[in-house]
Amino acid sequence: MRIYMQTAQMGDKPPRFYHLHLQEDLLEGWTLVKETGYQGAAGRVTKEYYESRDNALDALITARDKQVNRGYRIVFAQGEHIAE
């Protein structure tokens, strides 16, 4: 599952992006990967580990909602019911 969001461009600064990606690991756990930064530049990557898919999905939705409330808009979403 994947969500890519960005802000509107303001002045001469490029828009900011926020990318969320959920992936299953080899030990039956899940990792939520968050990447954030300015469009066209390398971003900062953080990873959070979860033992269950449901907990990881809840964290992804919480992160999505937080960024939408901060002014990000969803540009691309792939997965089940995550772009609502």
Separation CA 11–CA 74 (nearest Å): 21
With bands split at pLDDT 50, 70 and 90, how would you rate the model's confidence at 81?
A: low
Residue whose tokens read 């959070």: 48
Contacts of 25-32 with C-beta under 8 Å, sequence gap 24+, read: 25/49, 30/55, 30/56, 31/56, 32/56, 32/59, 32/60, 32/63
Question: What per-residue confidence (pLDDT) applies to 68?
Answer: 95
Write out pLDDT tens, residues 35-77.
Answer: 999 998 889 999 999 999 999 999 999 999 999 999 999 999 9
* pTM: predicted TM-score of the whole model, two decimal places: 0.86
pLDDT at residue number 82: 59
Tokens 């969803």 label which residue? 74
2-78 CATH pick, 1.20.200.10, 3.40.50.300, 2.20.140.10, 1.25.40.10: 2.20.140.10
* 83, pLDDT greater than 70: no
Whether 30 contacts 24, CB under 8 Å: yes
Name the residue ranges covered by the structural domains of the chain. 2-78
- Contact between 52 and 66 under an 8 Å Cβ cutoff? The reply is no
